[in-house]
């Protein structure tokens, strides 16, 4: 707090806290501005008020009267000011006001004060024990009987970043007054100081237009809007300190102590052809794939069309109508619904899919490298960690067993649920071993040593084993396939879920946060097992129901895709709570319950309701349902 330059105090009574704070910062250049609601004559009638005001003003501070903390913008003396800290101690509407009035007081205060808060400033609100409604309050009141301070701050796009004991002993001259408009202090025992900071604003969903070479043809397509924010984030770049990269390095270093590992650095298309998927389903069912109709295919990338359209174009998700230059070659791709993935599992020449796994790409690499078994002298791979490989069973009958690896984004079209992740980073490793070396057993020993101390269980399965974590379930698996005297071993790991587990991150969506406070924690490259400290504490949960009559073209996964798009990923769970078929109208109605929560942004009731109304609009226009 030695870096403070300006502090604003609101709702002061006798100015004893302002005077105490002035003494506390007497050796620094901090400027204090203290305000109260009363006029000057009323304020001076309070005990010691005159002396306290003199202390503040004598140290270069300012004292302002008749300042309404819910309408700070009306105070001419504050216009143009920005404060590093804004403090409100023990707010109260006065007399026997109920929790609703005090909630409104907090809400109006936050909405007003945020206009005067410096970009990286903090708002401090002190409350009596139990009032805030957070888990730190002990005993904790029922939420509906609390002041719901986190929810009220969220209305002003503020998040709770810290909460701790109110240190009254630090300010011994502070005399709290004003309880129920009496010259009587609030109960400071177990009182709590709540620290709020700015949240990043929500960015609108985007449709990303891409061009890729797929199976010898140039293909132009739109990435579904709900996936746009996941693209091109470079979490796995060589200089990245993102937890997904730290976990990958941890795995590769551990495995590299036993076998040399060669990771490919080549870029790969996000698309697979339907034929490629039919040849190798990658263990992913067709309904879990994002099927894509191309906008264009087979065109010359140097043509006028390609010149007019940038390789990467961001479009507002609301602008889903084709422009004059976007003329697909086939009618089935021409309607606006192409922005939603098709879930047909019948492969045809017009269908592509976003890669649900890296297995096809890794298989190509594996085949190019002679099945993964090359002599030590012939290999031109860049070993990441080959020290001690020979004595640690890194040699199999005179040849070095090289693990070939690849990592990158994969896409799964799944219903909205807490641990259903539509996009994640997958790590694949594969190699061919002599059956005499018992490679599956060696892999089990390696991963047991790496992951078991960090809460990951190794569960044996036919031909391999799985990595299991509670409550998310499978984190990855190791499979083997025998061919003659050789055993091919494939390791597949969901790096995102593993990062959540190894760094105790409460929500996988945090991995995709743009807030610098998230990534800052990983700048020192902490070891897995280091717990993440949330920058947004106790985000509120909001629940809304939505009911509608479906049409003949109803596809439930399209509904889930729209939920992700409309809510900007703030819906963490969708539950079907009722289904009704009208006996006379031959119509079917669905009722879903949507649970909204965000660990990355301030989510207020107002904002959640806005998302919900946007969903209703998109459902009507995109899926032709009738909202009930």
User: pLDDT digit string (tens) for 286-308?
Assistant: 889 999 989 887 766 554 344 33
Q: Quick check: 607 and 599 in contact, CB under 8 A?
A: no
Q: What is the mean pLDDT of the chain?
A: 84
Helix (H/G/I), strand (E/B), else coil: 440: helix
Lookup result for tokens 């929790």: 99
**pLDDT tier for residue 225 given thresholds of 50, 70 and 90:** very high
DSSP 342: B
Is the pLDDT at 314 greater than 60, yes or no? no
Per-residue pLDDT, 348: 54
Cβ-proximal residues to 506 (8 Å cutoff; 6+ apart), any chain: 532, 534, 599
SS3 content of the chain, % helix, strand, coil (to 5): 30, 25, 45
The tens digit of pLDDT for each residue in 460-517 reads 998 899 999 988 899 999 999 998 889 999 999 999 999 999 999 999 999 999 999 9
Q: Quick check: 432 and 259 in contact, CB under 8 A?
A: no
Is the pLDDT at 2 greater than 50, yes or no? no
Is the pLDDT at 201 greater than 60, yes or no? yes
Q: CA–CA separation, 244 vs 265, rounded Å?
A: 16
Per-residue pLDDT, 181: 42
Per-residue pLDDT, 325: 34
Q: 19 is written with which tokens?
A: 């005077």
This prediction has a pTM of 0.86
CA dihedral 65, 68, 72, 75 (to 10 degrees): -40
Find the helix or strand (DSSP H, E) in which 514 lies: none
Query: Which residues make beta-bridge pairs with 461?
Result: 464
Q: CA–CA separation, 446 vs 427, rounded Å?
A: 16
The tens digit of pLDDT for each residue in 93-152 reads 876 778 899 999 999 999 999 999 999 999 999 999 899 999 999 888 888 899 999 999
C-alpha distances in angstroms, 90 versus 96, 175, 196, 237? 15, 12, 15, 48
Is the pLDDT at 586 greater than 90, yes or no? no
- First-last CA distance in the chain: 54
Q: For residue 274, which phi and psi values (nearest 5 degrees)?
A: -60, -35
Is the pLDDT at 321 greater than 70, yes or no? no
Cβ-proximal residues to 31 (8 Å cutoff; 6+ apart), any chain: 5, 6, 7, 60, 61, 62
Q: Quick check: 78 and 116 in contact, CB under 8 A?
A: yes
Q: CA–CA separation, 430 vs 443, rounded Å?
A: 12
Per-residue pLDDT, 216: 82
The tens digit of pLDDT for each residue in 228-273 reads 999 999 999 999 999 999 999 999 999 999 999 999 866 778 998 8
- The fraction of the chain above a pLDDT of 90, given in percent, is 63
**DSSP string of 111-168?**
HHHGGGEEEEEEEEEEE-TTTS-STTSSSPPPGGGS--HHHHHHTTTEEEEEEEE--G
Q: Quick check: 87 and 113 in contact, CB under 8 A?
A: no
């Amino acid at each position: 707090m030695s870096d403070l330059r300006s502090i604003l105090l609101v709702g002061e009574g006798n100015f004893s806290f302002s005077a105490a704070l002035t003494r506390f910062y007497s050796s620094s250049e901090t400027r204090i501005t203290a305000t109260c609601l009363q006029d000057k004559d009323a304020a001076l009638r309070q005990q010691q008020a005159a002396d306290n005001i003199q202390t503040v003003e004598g140290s270069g501070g300012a004292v302002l009267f008749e300042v309404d903390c819910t309408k700070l913008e009306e105070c001419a003396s504050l216009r143009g000011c920005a404060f590093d800290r804004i403090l409100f101690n023990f707010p109260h509407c006065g007399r026997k006001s109920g929790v609703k009035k005090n909630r409104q007081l907090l809400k109006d205060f936050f909405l007003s004060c945020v206009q005067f808060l410096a970009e990286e400033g903090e708002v401090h609100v002190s409350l009596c024990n139990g009032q805030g409604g957070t888990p730190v309050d002990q005993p904790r009141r029922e939420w509906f009987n609390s002041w719901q301070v986190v929810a009220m701050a969220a209305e002003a796009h503020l998040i709770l970043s810290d909460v701790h004991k109110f240190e009254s002993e630090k300010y011994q001259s502070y005399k709290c007054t004003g309880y129920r408009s009496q010259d009587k202090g609030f109960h400071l025992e177990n009182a709590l100081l709540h620290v709020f900071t700015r949240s990043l604003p929500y960015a609108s969903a985007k449709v990303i237009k891409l061009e890729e070479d797929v199976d010898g043809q140039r293909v132009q397509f739109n990435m579904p809007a709900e996936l746009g924010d996941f693209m091109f984030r470079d979490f796995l770049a060589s200089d990245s300190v993102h937890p997904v990269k730290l976990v990958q390095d941890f795995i590769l270093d551990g495995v590299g102590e036993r076998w040399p590992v060669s990771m490919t650095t080549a870029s790969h298309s996000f698309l697979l052809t339907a034929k490629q998927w039919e040849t190798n389903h990658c263990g992913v069912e067709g309904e879990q794939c994002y099927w894509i109709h191309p906008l264009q295919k087979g065109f010359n990338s140097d043509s006028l069309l390609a010149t007019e359209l940038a390789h990467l174009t961001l479009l507002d998700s609301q602008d889903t109508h084709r422009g004059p230059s976007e003329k697909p070659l086939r009618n089935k791709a021409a309607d606006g619904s192409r922005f939603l993935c098709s879930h047909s599992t019948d492969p045809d020449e017009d269908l592509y899919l976003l890669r649900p796994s890296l297995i096809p790409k890794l298989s190509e690499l594996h085949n190019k490298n002679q099945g993964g078994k090359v002599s030590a002298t012939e290999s031109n791979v860049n070993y990441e960690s080959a020290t001690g490989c020979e004595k640690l069973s890194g040699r199999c009958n005179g040849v070095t067993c090289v693990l070939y690896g690849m990592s990158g984004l994969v896409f799964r079209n799944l219903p909205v649920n807490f641990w259903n992740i539509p996009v994640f980073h997958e790590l694949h490793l594969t190699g061919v071993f002599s059956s005499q070396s018992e490679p599956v057993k060696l892999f089990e020993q390696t991963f047991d040593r790496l992951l078991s101390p960090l809460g990951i269980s190794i569960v044996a399965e036919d031909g391999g084993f799985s990595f299991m974590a509670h409550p998310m379930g499978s984190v990855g698996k190791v499979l083997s396939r025998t061919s003659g005297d050789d055993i091919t071993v494939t390791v597949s790991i969901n790096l995102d879920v593993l990062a959540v587990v190894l760094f105790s991150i409460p929500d996988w969506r945090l991995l995709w946060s743009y807030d610098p406070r998230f990534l800052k924690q990983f700048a020192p490259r902490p070891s897995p097992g280091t717990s993440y400290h949330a920058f947004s504490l106790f985000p509120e949960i909001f629940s809304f129901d939505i009911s509608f009559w479906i049409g003949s073209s109803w596809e439930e996964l399209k509904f889930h895709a729209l939920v992700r798009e409309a809510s900007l990923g703030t819906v963490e769970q969708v539950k079907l709570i009722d289904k009704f078929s009208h006996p006379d109208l031959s119509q079917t109605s669905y009722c879903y319950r949507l649970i909204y929560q965000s660990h990355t942004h301030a989510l207020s009731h107002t904002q959640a309701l806005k998302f919900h109304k946007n969903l209703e609009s998109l459902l009507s226009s995109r899926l032709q349902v009738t909202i009930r």
